[in-house]
């Protein structure tokens, strides 16, 4: 008579607490990735240096254009204005260099500080722009008060100043993404220049000169503001690239991680993270790789806000997904080990009733699935044991016993055998309960008395692919 019994088998409270203590170790990968981090940091430094060289070239070009713009203005005042712009340029460079050093010095895992550094830089730049603009206005006011020349000289000076302002406008429009940070600012300056030329053509030389001065001052302010914002974006882009490069390269290295035992100890065996996580790891790594490709391809067109959002949300999510995939890979190895151990206890309990192990293997040769064993008795009876995981409960397994008896047995006798097995299991520290209702044992083929169709192999667990 054949019969089927199903029960849940849980580890003891002490063993369950031990498994809970392993939780942190399942997520932790203790490997030296310093070489990867150094390469990513070096790439960031090279990108920041390239950005710094561009900023320096623009600074020099602006100073040269400014000197030409003020060359015909009253010598004392023009010298002061040039000195003011040179001083503001130096302050801008100092702020940029400080931010560059701070961003490059960020350690791996300290990316949350990026927002704080950028916020501090924004405040300092706003203060610098405001102070410089106030000083410009004061200098231009002094110029107008001290200007004592004839009408013809005023007209010539106004025309030269307007031509210089136009040159500065063209230089700024070509060298900096003004429209990205100050939409319409260049158009307003162009309109102001047009009005100043109109005033000059109608004989209002002083109004034309004042208009030129105002445009030159506004362009100086724009230059500072836009340079500061663009440098902030440049530093952020280089940092996000560094973070993604680290994540992706380490992700490739972590595709094989060390298995962890029931006590949180390293087993000295590497496992395939994607296989054991059910594909989670490969999918997570693919998403991280996609983010890196997106930033490398589209980064120059991305705004600082888009980069901040990517870092705070998508990048953080990618890091979490990879960590979770490592956790699930190791967790599934551990669950497989637990099922194997529970199956071993069931086998021992049946051996105490006179059965002998014929063979055991994972169903479908997949160690992530149920473990099966075939036992035989001298009277010709056979028992197929299947231990499968109860979803979401690593310390609890579902045990199915399928009995093929040579002799007729009553239901009472089968229940008695199950009770004896349960009593025996309790001596191994296992807690035996029941599921609400029994179901037939599901397997690819009905086991024969010889065990064919079970895929029986020797009694062992290996942690690679079968």
Domains and their CATH numbers in the chain: 2-17+335-433 (3.30.160.110), 34-241 (no CATH), 246-325 (no CATH)
pTM of the full structure: 0.69
Query: Between the CA of residue 59 and those of 68, 91, 171, 172, what are the distances in Å?
Result: 14, 11, 11, 11
Do the Cβ atoms of 114 and 311 come closer than 8 Å?
yes
Q: Which residue, among 371, 370, 346, has the nearest Cα to 360 in the 3D structure? A: 371
158, two tokens: 């106004």
* Sequence-ordered list of residues with C-beta below 8 angstroms from that of 283, at least 6 positions apart, any chain: 321, 325
Q: What is the dihedral of CA 207, 208, 214, 217, to 10 degrees?
A: -140
Tell me the C-alpha distance between 375 and 378, whole Å: 10
Contact in structure between 406 and 399 (CB atoms under 8 Å): no
Our separate counts of H helices and E strands in the chain read 13, 8
Helix (H, G, I), strand (E, B) or coil at 202: coil
Closest by Cα among 212, 219, 188, 228 to 62: 219
Q: Tokens 């973070």 map to which residue?
A: 243
Q: What is the pLDDT of residues 104-113, one digit of tens each?
A: 766 666 666 6
- Tell me the C-alpha to C-alpha distance, in Å, between residue 389 and each of 81, 91, 244, 343, 412: 78, 65, 36, 11, 28
Closest by CA to 396, choosing from 357, 334, 338, is 338
CB of 242 within 8 A of CB of 40? Answer: yes
Phi first, then psi: give them for residue 71, nearest 5 degrees. Answer: -60, -35
- What is d(CA 60, CA 397) in angstroms, rounded to the nearest whole number? 73
> Distance of CA 399 to CAs 10, 81, 371, 418, Å?
10, 87, 10, 11
The tens place of each residue's pLDDT in the chain, 466 residues long, gives 456 777 777 776 676 666 666 767 777 766 667 788 788 878 877 887 788 777 777 777 777 776 666 555 545 445 556 666 667 767 777 767 767 777 776 666 666 667 677 677 677 777 767 777 677 667 666 655 555 554 557 787 778 778 878 888 888 888 888 999 999 999 999 999 999 999 999 988 888 888 888 888 888 888 888 888 888 888 889 889 988 998 998 888 888 877 777 677 777 778 888 888 889 999 999 999 999 999 999 999 999 889 988 988 898 899 899 888 888 888 888 888 888 888 888 888 888 888 899 888 888 888 888 889 999 988 888 888 898 888 767 667 888 888 776 666 667 776 776 777 777 777 666 666 654 333 333 333 333 322 322 222 233 333 333 2
Residue partners of 105: CB distance under 8 A and separation at least 6: none
Which tokens go with 435? 């599921």
């Amino acid at each position: 008579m054949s019969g089927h019994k199903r029960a849940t088998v849980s580890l003891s409270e002490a063993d369950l607490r031990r498994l809970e203590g392993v939780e942190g170790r399942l997520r932790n990968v203790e490997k030296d990735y310093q070489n990867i981090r150094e390469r990513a940091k070096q790439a960031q430094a090279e990108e920041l240096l390239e950005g710094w060289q561009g900023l320096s070239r623009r600074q020099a070009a602006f100073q040269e254009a400014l000197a030409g713009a003020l060359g015909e203005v009253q010598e004392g005042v023009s010298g002061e204005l040039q000195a003011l712009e040179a001083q503001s340029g130096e302050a801008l460079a100092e702020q940029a260099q400080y931010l560059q050093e701070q961003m490059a010095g960020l350690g791996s895992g300290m990316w949350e500080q990026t927002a704080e550094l950028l916020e501090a830089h924004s405040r300092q730049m706003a203060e610098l722009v405001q102070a410089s603009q106030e000083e410009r206005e004061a200098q231009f006011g002094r110029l107008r008060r001290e200007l004592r020349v004839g009408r013809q000289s005023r007209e010539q000076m106004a025309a030269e100043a307007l031509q210089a302002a136009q040159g500065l406008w063209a230089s700024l429009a070509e060298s900096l993404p003004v429209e990205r940070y100050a939409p319409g600012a260049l158009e307003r300056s162009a309109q102001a220049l047009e009005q100043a030329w109109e005033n000059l053509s109608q004989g209002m030389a002083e109004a034309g000169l004042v208009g030129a001065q105002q445009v030159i001052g506004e362009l100086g302010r724009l230059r500072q503001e836009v340079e500061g914002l663009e440098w902030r974006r440049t530093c952020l882009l280089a940092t996000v690239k560094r973070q993604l490069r680290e994540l992706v390269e380490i992700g490739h290295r972590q595709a094989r991680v060390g298995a962890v035992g029931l006590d949180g100890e390293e087993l000295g065996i590497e496992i395939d993270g994607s296989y054991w996580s059910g594909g989670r790891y490969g999918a997570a790594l693919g998403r991280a790789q996609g983010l890196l490709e997106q930033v490398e391809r589209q980064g120059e067109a991305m705004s600082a806000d888009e980069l901040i959002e990517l870092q705070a949300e998508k990048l953080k999510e990618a890091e979490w997904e990879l960590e979770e995939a490592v956790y699930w890979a190791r967790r599934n190895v551990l669950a497989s080990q637990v099922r194997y151990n529970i199956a071993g206890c069931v086998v021992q309990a049946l051996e105490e009733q006179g059965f002998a192990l014929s063979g055991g293997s994972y169903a479908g040769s997949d160690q992530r699935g149920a473990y099966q064993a075939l036992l035989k008795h001298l009277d010709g009876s056979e028992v197929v044991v299947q231990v499968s995981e109860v979803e979401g409960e690593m310390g609890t397994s579902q045990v199915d016993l399928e009995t093929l008896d040579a002799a007729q047995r009553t239901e009472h006798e089968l229940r008695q055998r199950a009770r004896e097995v349960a009593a025996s299991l309790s001596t191994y520290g296992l807690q035996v309960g029941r599921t609400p209702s029994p179901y037939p044992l599901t397997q690819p083929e009905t086991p024969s008395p010889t065990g064919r169709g079970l895929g029986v192999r020797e009694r062992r667990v290996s942690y690679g692919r079968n």
